[in-house]
Structure 1
Amino acid sequence: MRFLRTLLFLFLCASSFACAANKDYVITIETSHGNIVAVLFDDTPEHKSNFIKLAEAGRFDSTEFQRVIKNFMVQGGDVFTKENLPAQEWPTLPAEIRPNHYHKKGMIAAARQGDGINPQRRSSGSQFYIVIGKVYEELELTTDMAALQKAFMKYMELGSQAELKKQYTRLYNEQKYDSLTTILLSKREELEKSLNVKLTKDFTAEQIEAYTTVGGTPHLDKEYTVFGEVIQGLEVADAISNLPTQRDRPVEPVFMKVTVDKMSRKKIEKEYGYTYADEK
């Protein structure tokens, strides 16, 4: 009898664990422009746990999307300023920068201080941003523009490239920067062969597909912790990103209220059309 009770206990424990593993947290960010719904990633546990704790405690409520840049991102959740906590006491989180999470439009990432004073790239303990970005042409996306510019300048100094240098100077003086970019990109392959340099960036096929269709901010990859994704209401974040601003702050404040609900992953997939990474 004791053996049977032990088996039953172990079965119930296993069942409870399985049920818990099959559930997830759904984050809802309520604003006057509509609701933004998101999930947070399991492989960034410090960020996921911290965000949920802040939300469940109501600490995000009445914070703002206080930094808004069109075609870039919307940032908010400044809990510690709202709570009058001295800046030197603001908690931070260890970086959880994962190669499988990149800055596709709709991703949620943690704000942080710059490398100069934060070489470990620790995240803000509360502030986050939603990626907006833009859609890229593949050639522009996969080119190391800084390296290309440097190589191009060197190439123009060759006696055989006098006409190219003249064209570049004219367009620069006329401030036709888009035309300059087009010229630089058109010369990438030629420069790589002539100067024996690498002028490309390494992206996976998945990243290229995302950045050339949905869009995003690829230059932030490997720099900030991406820890969640919007699964409904991305148009709300778009609307906020297009608001009139003064010094990147919306002229009319955009306050938020953040709530957390736990539901089965199957229900999340059914209601929001979201597919978990381990099921893709």
Structure 2
Amino acid sequence: MRKYGVFFLCCLFFAGCEKKDPNVVSVETNLGTIKVRLYDETPVHRDNFLKLVKERYYEGILFHRVIPDFVIQAGDPDSRNARPGMILGANGINYQLEAEIVPRYFHRRGVLAAAREGDNVNPERKSSGSHFYIVQGKVFQPAELDSLVDRINNKRHQALFERLQQYRAPEIRAYELEKDYQTLEKINKELSEETRKLFEKEKLVLTEEQRKAYTTVGGIPHLDGAYTVFGEVIEGMDVVDKITALKTDGNNRPLKDVVILKME
């Protein structure tokens, strides 16, 4: 009996000493629990998320933005006890994080990423300190994916040109008033060449791994290279799917509140 007793106590001891992964966070909601693992390759985002979890920042916050085949998003402190129909998403913690865009981590189904302000006001693509989203995404047919990539690249090219054009807007306006079309044509060529060079870094070119993921498990390719992906769901994608199935209002807020009860 003593041997069995000692063996039992040893089992309890080693079970108690079993190491937990410090990068795994359990997100308990009123619709179920989602477990995410944070990436070591994005240490700024990892450490910030863990800090907010320890500070209980997310407790009581809603998933305020829910779009089927796209994402579920949370992080607005104004969402705590928000009245029905209240527009949410404009507030957050009062700092941003430097972008940590790692090419090997892309927007396949189930990844965790940081929301941010648009390129027009945030060209460095800094992340919100508190807003995050989980990708549900959709599955693409190969031809559909090719067509989407073409549209994404056309849009990125045009956005780059317009951004550069905006920087030189006063100069362009002055030459327009002078009707100096020769100089305007020269500027246009300069902008086109500069856009071409910058676009080489912005162009979306899918790897075989990305193509396989987007045509099997799904995702949202158009966000690749533009937002920081810093983790992934390891349990509870059924809960994410349950959340995206909820009816929402015109601002993509669920009519039934999805509350983060606890993170640990």
- Name the TM tier (shorter chain): 0.5 to 0.7
Provide the C-alpha distance between the structure 2 equivalents of 1:81 and 1:148, rounded to a whole number of angstroms. 35
1:104 equivalenced with 2:102 (yes/no): no
Q: Deviations over 1:80-119 (max 9, x none)?
A: 7659xx9597211111111011000000000101111111
Provide the C-alpha distance between the structure 1 equivalents of 2:119 and 2:79, rounded to a whole number of angstroms. 22
1:61 alignment partner AA: E
TM-score normalized with structure 2 length: 0.66
Change (3 A) 1:232 1:23: closer
2:217 to 188, 202, 214: 214
Question: In the alignment, which residue of structure 2 is the partner of 1:67?
Answer: 65
For the 8 Å contact 1:142–1:201, the answer to whether it is kept is no
1:246 equivalenced with 2:249 (yes/no): yes
Shift of 1:77: 2.1
Question: In the alignment, which residue of structure 2 is the partner of 1:228?
Answer: 231
1:94 alignment partner AA: E
1:94 equivalenced with 2:92 (yes/no): no
Question: In the alignment, which residue of structure 1 is the partner of 2:181?
Answer: none
Question: In the alignment, which residue of structure 2 is the partner of 1:140?
Answer: 144
Change (3 A) 1:89 1:212: closer
Unaligned runs of 5+ in 2: 1-18, 82-89, 156-202
Question: In the alignment, which residue of structure 2 is the partner of 1:25?
Answer: 23
Q: Deviations over 1:113-164 (max 9, x none)?
A: 11111111110100100001100111221333438999xxxxxxxxxxxxxx
Change (3 A) 1:91 1:81: farther
For the 8 Å contact 1:142–1:202, the answer to whether it is kept is no
Provide the C-alpha distance between the structure 1 equivalents of 2:145 and 2:72, rounded to a whole number of angstroms. 22
1:46 to 44, 48, 54: 44
1:211 alignment partner AA: Y
- Residues 154-233 of structure 1 correspond to what in structure 2 (within 5 A)? 202-233=205-236
Shift of 1:33: 1.1
Q: Residue 234 of structure 2: SS of its match in structure 1?
A: strand
Change (3 A) 1:132 1:42: same
Question: In the alignment, which residue of structure 2 is the partner of 1:113?
Answer: 117
Shift of 1:26: 1.3
Provide the C-alpha distance between the structure 2 equivalents of 1:131 and 1:22, rounded to a whole number of angstroms. 25
RMSD: 2.9
- Percent identity, please: 44
Provide the C-alpha distance between the structure 1 equivalents of 2:225 and 2:153, rounded to a whole number of angstroms. 21
- Count of aligned positions: 191
Q: Residue 22 of structure 2: SS of its match in structure 1?
A: strand
Provide the C-alpha distance between the structure 2 equivalents of 1:258 and 1:201, rounded to a whole number of angstroms. 37
Question: In the alignment, which residue of structure 1 is the partner of 2:74?
Answer: 76
Unaligned runs of 5+ in 1: 1-20, 151-199, 261-280
